[in-house]
C-alpha cells in the first residue's frame, strides 16, 4: 500500500512537472492560435527558439514578409542550423523571391547535403524557374541514391523539358522505368499516354492506359487519355463508352466534352454531339476546332442558324484583321531593313499597301526610297513616286507649307507630296543628262554650234 501511494505521488508530480514545462506559447502554437502566441512572444526576452516560434506564427497568419525578416535574423544567430535557411526559403517562395529561395536552399544543403526534403524542394524550384538543365542534373544525382517514384518523376519531367522530339525516347524510357518499378503509379501512365498521343502512337497510348486500368479503372486522368486515344484511333464506340463513364463521374473538363462530342459527331449522333461541344465551347469560346464541329453538328439538327453563326465566327478567328496584318508587315519590313534584305523589305511594304493598308499612301513613297537609295533602281523608284503622286488630293497643292513653331518645314503628308514631286523631277533630269552623255539624246533638239 505504501509503494502504491509513493508511485501515485510520483506520477502526480511528473504530470504536474510536464504541465509546467508546456508553456502558454507552445500551447497556443499547438492549437494554431498564432495571434495569442505572437502576443505572448512579445512579452518575453528574444531568444532563437522564440524567434522560430514567432516566424512560424507569422507564416501561419500569412504574414510571409514579416516571417522572412524574422527567419533572416535567425540565420544570423543560428547559422549552422539548416532549419533557419529552410524556413527562409519557404517564405521567399511564397513571395516569388525565387532566386533568394534557391540561395537559402543551397545554404541548407551545404550544412546537410543528405536532406532529401531540401533537395526535392531545390529541384522543384529549379523546374518552376524553367532552369531545366540544372534540375535534370540535380535529379539525376538524387536518383542515383533514391529511386522513389517522386524523385524519378522529377528526373523524367526535367528530361521532357530538356530533350527535343529527336530524343523523346529517353523521356519515354524514364516513364516506362517508373511504370516498371511502380505499376500503380497513375501519373507515369498518364504521362506516357500523353507522349504517345502527341506522337500519334494511339495503339501504344491505349495499351499503356489499359494496363493501368486493369489495376484501377476509376482514375479520371488516365481514363481521359485512354478515351482520347480511342477517339483519335477512330474507335468511336469504345471512346464513347469511356467518355460516358467520365461524364457519369461528373467530369466536365474541356478535353472530355470536346472529344466526346467529336466521337458522337463521327457516328452521326448529332444531338449529343451538339450538347457536348456546346459545353466545350463555354471553356474555350475562341477554339476554331470546337466552333467548326459545333457548327457542323448544328447544321444537322434544329439549330441550323446557330451553325451558320458558329462557322462565321470560326472563319473570322482564322483570318486575322487587316489591322493585325498591317502591324505584322510593319514589323517584317523593319526586320528586313535591319538585316539588309532590301528586296524583301520593299516587297513587304508593297504587300502591306496592296492588301491591308490601301489608304496609307506613304508606303509607295517608302518603296521608292528603298528602290532608289538601297537597290539603285531609279526606274522603279520613278514608278512608285508617280503612283504616290497620283494619290495626292487635288486641293493639297494650294495649301501652305507645313511649319513647326520655329518656322522649320515639317514632314507632313502635304510636304511629302511636294518632296516627291521635286525628287521625281531630279530623277528625270538626271536620266536625261545620262542619256545625253551616252549619245541617246535627239540631235534635232540640239542647237547647231556657230
DSSP class of residue 403 equals: B
pLDDT attached to residue 56: 94
Are the CB atoms for 374 and 342 separated by under 8 Å?
A: yes
**In Å, how far are 262, 296, 307, 330 from 256, measured between CA atoms?**
10, 19, 22, 41
pLDDT attached to residue 407: 55
pLDDT attached to residue 395: 73
Cβ-based neighbour number of residue 181 at 10 Å: 13
pLDDT attached to residue 265: 97
Residues ≥6 apart with Cβ < 8 Å to 310: 291, 292, 294, 295, 298
Residues paired with residue 403 on neighbouring β-strands, in sequence order:
409
Q: Is the dihedral of CA 89, 93, 99, 100 positive or negative?
A: negative
Domains in the chain with CATH codes: 22-112 (1.25.40.10), 332-393+414-429 (1.25.40)
pLDDT attached to residue 277: 98
The reply to whether the predicted model has a pTM over 0.95 is no
Grid cell for residue 146: 533514391
Grid cell for residue 386: 508617280
Are the CB atoms for 57 and 33 separated by under 8 Å?
A: no
pLDDT attached to residue 239: 98
User: pLDDT in tens for each of the 450 residues of the chain?
Assistant: 454 444 444 444 444 433 444 689 999 999 999 999 999 999 988 899 999 999 999 999 999 999 999 999 999 999 999 999 999 999 999 999 999 999 999 999 999 999 999 999 999 999 999 999 999 999 999 999 999 999 999 999 999 999 988 899 999 999 999 999 999 999 999 999 999 999 999 999 999 999 999 999 999 999 999 999 999 999 999 999 999 999 999 999 999 999 999 999 999 999 999 999 999 999 999 999 999 999 999 999 999 999 999 999 999 999 888 899 999 999 999 999 999 999 999 999 999 999 999 999 999 999 999 999 999 999 999 999 999 999 998 876 655 555 555 555 556 788 899 899 999 999 999 888 877 777 665 544 444 433
**In Å, how far are 331, 374, 393 from 381, measured between CA atoms?**
22, 11, 21
pLDDT attached to residue 10: 45
Amino acid at each position: 500500500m505504501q509503494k502504491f501511494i509513493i508511485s501515485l505521488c510520483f506520477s502526480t508530480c511528473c504530470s504536474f512537472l510536464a504541465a509546467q514545462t508546456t508553456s502558454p506559447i507552445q500551447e497556443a502554437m499547438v492549437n494554431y492560435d498564432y495571434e495569442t502566441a505572437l502576443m505572448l512572444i512579445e512579452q518575453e526576452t528574444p531568444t532563437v527558439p522564440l524567434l522560430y516560434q514567432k516566424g512560424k506564427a507569422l507564416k501561419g497568419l500569412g504574414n510571409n514578409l514579416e516571417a522572412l525578416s524574422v527567419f533572416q535574423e535567425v540565420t544570423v544567430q543560428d547559422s549552422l542550423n539548416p532549419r533557419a535557411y529552410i524556413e527562409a526559403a519557404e517564405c521567399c517562395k511564397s513571395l516569388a523571391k525565387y532566386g533568394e529561395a534557391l540561395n537559402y536552399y543551397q545554404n541548407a544543403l551545404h550544412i546537410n547535403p543528405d536532406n532529401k526534403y531540401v533537395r526535392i524542394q531545390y529541384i522543384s524550384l529549379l523546374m518552376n524557374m524553367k532552369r531545366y538543365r540544372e534540375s535534370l542534373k540535380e535529379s539525376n544525382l538524387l536518383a542515383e541514391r533514391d529511386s522513389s517514384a517522386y524523385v524519378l518523376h522529377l528526373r523524367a519531367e526535367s528530361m521532357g523539358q530538356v530533350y527535343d522530339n529527336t530524343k523523346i525516347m529517353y523521356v519515354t524510357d524514364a516513364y516506362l522505368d517508373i511504370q516498371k518499378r511502380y505499376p500503380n503509379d497513375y501519373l507515369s501512365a498518364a504521362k506516357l499516354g500523353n507522349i504517345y498521343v502527341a506522337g500519334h502512337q494511339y495503339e501504344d497510348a491505349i495499351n499503356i492506359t489499359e494496363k493501368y486500368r486493369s489495376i484501377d479503372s476509376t482514375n479520371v486522368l488516365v481514363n481521359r487519355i485512354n478515351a482520347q486515344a480511342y477517339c483519335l484511333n477512330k474507335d468511336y464506340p469504345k471512346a464513347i463508352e469511356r467518355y460516358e463513364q467520365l461524364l457519369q463521374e461528373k467530369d466536365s473538363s474541356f478535353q472530355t466534352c470536346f472529344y466526346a462530342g467529336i466521337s458522337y459527331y463521327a457516328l452521326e449522333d448529332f444531338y449529343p454531339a451538339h450538347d457536348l461541344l456546346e459545353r466545350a465551347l463555354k471553356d474555350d469560346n475562341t477554339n476554331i476546332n470546337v466552333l467548326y464541329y459545333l457548327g457542323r453538328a448544328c447544321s444537322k439538327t434544329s439549330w441550323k442558324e446557330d451553325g451558320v453563326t458558329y462557322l462565321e465566327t470560326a472563319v473570322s478567328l482564322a483570318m486575322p484583321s487587316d489591322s493585325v496584318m498591317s502591324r505584322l508587315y510593319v514589323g517584317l519590313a523593319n526586320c528586313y531593313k535591319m538585316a539588309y534584305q532590301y528586296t524583301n523589305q520593299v516587297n513587304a511594304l508593297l504587300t502591306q499597301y496592296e492588301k491591308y493598308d490601301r489608304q496609307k499612301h506613304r508606303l509607295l513613297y517608302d518603296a521608292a526610297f528603298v528602290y532608289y537609295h538601297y537597290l539603285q533602281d531609279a526606274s522603279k523608284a520613278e514608278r512608285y513616286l508617280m503612283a504616290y503622286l497620283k494619290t495626292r488630293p487635288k486641293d493639297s497643292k494650294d495649301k501652305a507649307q507645313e511649319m513647326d513653331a520655329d518656322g522649320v518645314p515639317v514632314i507632313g503628308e502635304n510636304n511629302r507630296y511636294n518632296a516627291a514631286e521635286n525628287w521625281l523631277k531630279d530623277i528625270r533630269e538626271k536620266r536625261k543628262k545620262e542619256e545625253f552623255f551616252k549619245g541617246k539624246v535627239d540631235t534635232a533638239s540640239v542647237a547647231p554650234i556657230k
